[in-house]
Structure 1
Amino acid sequence: MPEPKSQAWEGLERQASRISARLRRTVEYAKRLGKGGSALKEAAEFYIAKSFWLNWRTIAALTGPSMDYLTPLDGRIMSFREFMVEWVGAQFKRQLEDYGIELPWFWRYWEEETKWWHHSFELVMYLWRRTSNIHNRGPTPEERRWLEEKYPGWEETFGRFWDLYAKNYIEGRPPLPKTAPLLCNMCQLPLISVKPGRHVVIYQKEYNGRLYNFCSPVCMWIWEQEKERYAGHMTYVDRLLAGKIKLSPEAMKSIERLWDEIIWHMGYTEFGEAGLDATNGAWALLYK
């Protein structure tokens, strides 16, 4: 008899099934649009591409760090990239083939992003952990060896940043930011700057006298197709810099007070809502 599947494996299957079902509904809806002529066919193809990309951003931001960083080593049955490419991506490709629809133009770019984007995002998420409600931590030496095995070159690209975070903790200076992150005007996620081989390019567009920033050519492309819809939107940081989020005079004198007021405005407190280091820095002491 085959061995029973682990809870972790069953959980991944359920998640892949939910993602696949969501994308299948998108494809089916777009296919119906496409039957209305060339204009609707073009709109349908855009709808598919946009839905896939924004779903990818959400999945990579939430599931990527959870699978590759926050799941204990003995509970990891595959890497996040393996999950996305072999399960989610493969199913999506089959769905498009079944309906005779071509892959989005950015498919190769997406495949490359599965190798690095969520690692870079985890660096950002840990540093700005107080602005989320996820208690985070850094990787242990054993987990770093696993990451290097699954993502060759991880240590060279990302390891040095975790070394710096650990060094700061050991020296009594827990790593916390002194600036606000620059957010993408499309997906609303931080513009991350760590990528294998080079720094990430910040994509920008000027429209009606305002400069818009994007994390990728895909987010910029989506925005360009519907610029009238998104042009007036301001990210949280945009509103902060524009003075639409009211802070006290004391916040301008102390970075600690500034971040306190930002998380209070978000509705978080230090008592279990604002993200903290889940180990209180114990992971960093392993490098002492």
Structure 2
Amino acid sequence: MAIHQRNDWYDLTRATNWTPSYVTEDELFPDEMSGSMGIPMESWEVYDEPYKTTFPEYVKVQREKDAGAYSVKAALERAKIIEKSDPGWVTILKQHYGAIALGEYAAVTGEARMSRFSKAPGNRNMAMFGMLDETRHGQIQLYFPHEYCKTDRQFDWAWKAYHQNDWASIAAKHFFDDIITGRDAISVAIMLTFGFETGFTNMQFLGLAADAADAGDYTFANLISSIQTDESRHAQQGGPALEILIANGKKEEAQLKVDMAVWRAWRLFAILTGPALDYYTPLEHRGHSFKEFMHEWIVGQFERSLIDLGLDKPWYWDTFMEELDSTHHGYHLGVWYWRPTIWWNPAAGVTPQERDWLEEKYPGWNARWGQCWDVITENLIADKEELTLPETLPLVCNMNQLPICGIPGEEHWDMKVYTVEKDGRLFHFSNEVDQWVFEQDPQRYEQHMSIVDRFLNGDVEPMNLQGALEYMGMEGVAELGRDAHDYAWIEKVKDNMKKAS
């Protein structure tokens, strides 16, 4: 039997729109689930996905990817990569698995919403494959760290993180609930696949795979590469949706969704990827700084994507560019100081050599962040570790759920909290952009309680750090975060002081 070329039949077979006979179109695709904004069905039929695949092709390729990833894992199981790697790299693995693995399962919900409620048949077709992608990503990123749990309890947070009230878990869940589980189909296409995946994670996974290879962790490098090739395909769902919105007079609405998603993604990206690149990665493996990575891989390509679609850069773009110099440094300092409250072991990353590198990449770093680390270093040298540990919780932003940070230094101190009062309750924000996101739809966010709100509300008992740790799900000393190198970097500081004297 002759086999027709895919191009001869693909468009016909995925054009699955029909005229319903026993329900109305609005009942079949309610706007609160479809997000079609009143655009008629025929306008959505021009949706043209750039990546086209069929089920037989998909299964064949995915089978090969899985075979490759699991085979590499099996072949390298005796390499003892966890035992032999720098603790900073192991920290990146723990942080990644806890923050991402179950987030992939949340993405299944978003893909399912598009596959059922999007009026664009091409979107529905792609989303079906996206559901399979995200299911695979969740499963494989739970399976790979599972073997490490027997020797390191922190790896159990790959599964545990999203089932706990740890402040970092709350921040991740708040973000993913906002752009995935609580949005209509077209909003998911724009905010998840365009704003987050195209804008951030697709490029990050490329860089992460390269860093893993440089660190000698070929198992993780192969895993992330396998996932990234899926992401590069289903991340393309947002672009065609945006084109249809703009062509039908909905540019303002499209721009709003992009602006909100990009800012929210940036804040989470800053606390996860920023410290990983500039502090956790061993100095000899740092090919570029976080700021350089953002400019080369994220900023440039995202600007081009916006221009190609006919959208504008977000109104806060200048603020975003300024934050590339500072935000992740504040987050890193805060995460390290509040290390008992997280499931990974943050590397300080401030040996004399590392500080020289930070000063080179971020001129003025020593005058700003360095002076804070000077105090920490002095206390550790004096065997006063207790002075480097928290006694209570920091002020948290009611939008991004992360600590509110400023830039230290006599010439740079700019600490400011943006506050809004609504129905007798005060909401605190990191800056005017987080406040702006909140004010676009206050009813969506105002009932949520940050970790500090819960503390002050009496949900945490006893009302001290130990009570907070128990509330966050930290079970025993083995799960509490600590300095990744057990303060070995202090010896390098002492050696440098001896040389200087």
- TM-score normalized by structure 1? 0.86
Question: How far is the alpha carbon of 1:172 from its aligned partner?
Answer: 1.9
Higher relative contact order (CA 8 A, sep 6+): 1
Which of 423, 435, 440 is the aligned partner of 1:220?
A: 435
* Structure 2 CA distance for partners of 1:129 and 1:32, relative to 1, 3 Å: farther
Q: Helix, strand or coil for the counterpart of 2:314?
A: coil
* 1:179 aligned residue: 392
CA distance in 2 between partners of 1:23 and 1:115 (Å) = 28
Question: How far is the alpha carbon of 1:18 from its aligned partner?
Answer: 8.5
Q: Helix, strand or coil for the counterpart of 1:30?
A: helix
Alignment map for 1:202-281 (pairs within 5 Å): 202-245=417-460, 247-248=461-462, 258-281=464-487
> Is residue 183–residue 191 contact of structure 1 (8 Å, CA) maintained in 2?
yes
Alignment map for 1:1-288 (pairs within 5 Å): 7-8=213-214, 25-37=237-249, 40-138=250-348, 139-174=350-385, 175-195=388-408, 197-245=412-460, 247-248=461-462, 258-288=464-494
Question: How far is the alpha carbon of 1:271 from its aligned partner?
Answer: 3.8
The one-letter code matched in structure 2 to 1:145 is D
22-31 or 164-173, which deviates more: 22-31
- Identity rate, percent: 38
Question: How far is the alpha carbon of 1:201 from its aligned partner?
Answer: 1.6
Provide, for residues 18-64 of structure 1, a one-character-per-residue CA deviation record: whole Å limited to 9, x for no partner.
88878754454334333443xx3222111001111111111111010
CA distance in 1 between partners of 2:401 and 2:492 (Å) = 34
The one-letter code matched in structure 2 to 1:30 is L
Q: Which runs of 5+ in 2 are unaligned?
A: 1-209, 495-501
* Structure 2 CA distance for partners of 1:211 and 1:84, relative to 1, 3 Å: same
**RMSD of Structure 2 on Structure 1 (CA):** 2.5
> Is residue 27–residue 96 contact of structure 1 (8 Å, CA) maintained in 2?
no
> Is residue 393–residue 465 contact of structure 2 (8 Å, CA) maintained in 1?
no
Provide, for residues 116-173 of structure 1, a one-character-per-residue CA deviation record: whole Å limited to 9, x for no partner.
1101111101011111112013211100000000011111100011111111112222
CA distance in 2 between partners of 1:109 and 1:96 (Å) = 18
Question: How far is the alpha carbon of 1:280 from its aligned partner?
Answer: 2.0
Question: How far is the alpha carbon of 1:204 from its aligned partner?
Answer: 1.0
> Is residue 24–residue 95 contact of structure 1 (8 Å, CA) maintained in 2?
no
> Is residue 19–residue 88 contact of structure 1 (8 Å, CA) maintained in 2?
no
Q: Which runs of 5+ in 1 are unaligned?
A: 253-257
> Is residue 184–residue 213 contact of structure 1 (8 Å, CA) maintained in 2?
yes
> Is residue 180–residue 237 contact of structure 1 (8 Å, CA) maintained in 2?
yes
> Is residue 34–residue 41 contact of structure 1 (8 Å, CA) maintained in 2?
yes
> Is residue 204–residue 211 contact of structure 1 (8 Å, CA) maintained in 2?
yes
CA distance in 2 between partners of 1:278 and 1:161 (Å) = 19
> Is residue 408–residue 414 contact of structure 2 (8 Å, CA) maintained in 1?
yes
Higher helix share: 2
- TM-score normalized by structure 2? 0.51
CA distance in 2 between partners of 1:161 and 1:118 (Å) = 15
* Structure 2 CA distance for partners of 1:155 and 1:200, relative to 1, 3 Å: same
